[in-house]
Amino acid sequence: MRIDIISIFPELFGPTLSGSMLGIAERKGIVEFHVHDLRDWAEGKHRTTDDYSFGGGPGMVMKPEPFFRAHAEILAQDLRPATTILMCPQGELLKQPLVEELATCSRLVIFVGRYEGYDDRIRTLADREVSIGDYVLTGGELPAMVLTDAVTRLLPGVLGHDASATEESFSWGLLEYPHFTRPASFEGLDVPDVLLSGDHARIAAWRRTEAIRRTAMRRPDLFETADLNDEEREFARSLLEDLKRSDDR
């Protein structure tokens, strides 16, 4: 996959993209990151990328021309079909199914805005608009890094263990089961016996049950779309009923 990011602060991306798993993924040739300075497509001595808002009001707006020029030039650098994503708080919320969908693309081009927002015509270049949550950041740089990280780690060969991505939080539509490592006993806190049993079927069943229990306690809303069989759904329902009863007490 090739990921192009267009921002007025390209230097913010360095350590995130070159360190840890993302850097390893790029060095292995699984992904290519290209971070561009939007100002390279701006005009004038000051290479201005923002301007006043027509109609008045506070705050500056990102000008359309630099994004249009940058987009055309960057698309032409590689013939693979690209999905263009505009980071903004008004976009579709980034959740794991969207991350999984984006991980199947061969190219992503990510627009990163600052100031009050984008001239609305810039949106015509985007296939999707994506938000990382219902809060407003000073710019789309951190959201672009979040999206890039979430997508890259799903690319085949990036995670050390292929099962890591399929057994984690959200991939079953549930929160993840609890994990433990050595020592088996620590300050009076013991690892559940079943995990030391070596019985893989029992361990898998325990993990599934605990993932459902944790989801019931923390994110019961996820049950609406979780992938559960009839027995598991009944178990989730009884857990929620118990929780409600203890809340009422």
**Per rule CB under 6 A, is residue 148 in the interface with ligand ADE?**
no
- Please check whether residue 112 is in contact with residue 87, taking contact to mean a CB–CB distance below 8 angstroms: yes
DSSP state of 156: T
**Per rule CB under 6 A, is residue 23 in the interface with ligand ADE?**
no
7: helix, coil or strand? strand
Q: Which is nearer to ligand ADE, 26 or 129 (CB)?
A: 129
Q: Which helix (H) or strand (E) holds 79?
A: none
- Please report, to the nearest 10 degrees, the dihedral formed by the alpha carbons of residues 65, 66, 70, 72 taken in order: 0
| Euclidean distance between CA atoms 127 and 121, whole angstroms | 13
Closest CB 35 distance from ligand ADE, rounded Å: 17
**Per rule CB under 6 A, is residue 108 in the interface with ligand ADE?**
no
**Per rule CB under 6 A, is residue 7 in the interface with ligand ADE?**
no
In 3D space, the residue among 5, 10, 8 whose CA is nearest the CA of residue 115 turns out to be 8
**What are the start-end ranges of the E strands in 148-245?**
185-186, 189-190
Q: Which is nearer to ligand ADE, 133 or 157 (CB)?
A: 133
- Taking CB positions, which residue lies at the least distance from ligand ADE? 143
What is the bridge-based pairing of β-strands 2-7 and 107-111? parallel
**Stretch of residues binding ligand ADE (CB under 6 A), selected from 48-56, 64-72, 83-91, 177-185:** 83-91
**Stretch of residues binding ligand ADE (CB under 6 A), selected from 69-77, 133-141, 187-195, 220-228:** 133-141
Q: Which is nearer to ligand ADE, 66 or 143 (CB)?
A: 143
**Per rule CB under 6 A, is residue 89 in the interface with ligand ADE?**
yes
For residue 162, the one-letter residue type is D
Q: Which of residues 194-213 bind ligand ADE (CB under 6 A)?
A: none
Rg over alpha carbons for the chain, rounded to the nearest Å, is 23
**Per rule CB under 6 A, is residue 140 in the interface with ligand ADE?**
yes
**Binding footprint of ligand ADE on the chain (CB under 6 A):** 87-89, 131-133, 135-137, 140, 143
